[in-house]
Amino acid sequence: MLRAIDISTSGLIAQRQRMNTVSENIANMNTTRDANGNPSPFQRRMITFQASATNPDEVAKGVGVQYEIEKDPESKPRMVHQPNHPDADENGFVKYPDINMVKEFVNALEASRAYEANLAALSTSKTMSRASLRILE
């Protein structure tokens, strides 16, 4: 029963982390410089999930989830013509991060629903283990 609680917790952590990447992306929507102040647009972060075990014996007992955060390889900077911008190149174009607000919000919504689902699973597990402990009462 404690295993179920651990599994749901791993799900909660993963979804919260997903929410963090979404906020990171939205916060950096217009970031044109890196941490050192050099002109380099922020690259969209993406999170990938994978089951925490793949061997059939473990999967048969129920597995948690683990995550990895990487830079989105498909994200190409958005070029905007702004000759007065300090980070503009010689042609007057500024590279902005390619972040789609709609995509991020959908992601956030999904993360929040999945978080709720995990929370519901967790409270079911809790009720069950509490009932088991009370057999002799």
Partner 1 sequence: MIDQLLNSTSIPLLEKMAMFTERRQNVLAGNIANLDTDNYRMQDLPTADFQHALRAAIQRRNAPGFQQSMNQATPYSESSMGQASFMPKLETAQIPAMTESIDDLFTHDLFQAEEADPDNVIFRDGNNRSVETEMMKMTKNSMMHQFAVEMMSIQMRMLESVVRERV
Could you list the residues that contact partner 1 (CB under 8 A)?
Answer: 1, 3-5, 7-8, 10-11, 14-15, 18, 48-51, 59-65, 110, 113-114, 117-118, 120-122, 124-125, 127-128, 131-132, 134-137
Q: Which of 40, 60, 63, 33 is nearest to 51 (CA)?
A: 63
Instruction: Please say which residue, 8 or 43, places its beta carbon nearer to partner 1.
Output: 8
DSSP code of 48?
E
Instruction: Please say which residue, 42 or 115, places its beta carbon nearer to partner 1.
Output: 115
d(CA 114, CA 61) in angstroms, rounded, equals 21
Query: How far apart are CB 104 and partner 1 at their closest, in Å?
Result: 15
Instruction: Please say which residue, 81 or 113, places its beta carbon nearer to partner 1.
Output: 113
- Maximum Cα–Cα distance across the chain: 79
d(CA 129, CA 110) in angstroms, rounded, equals 29
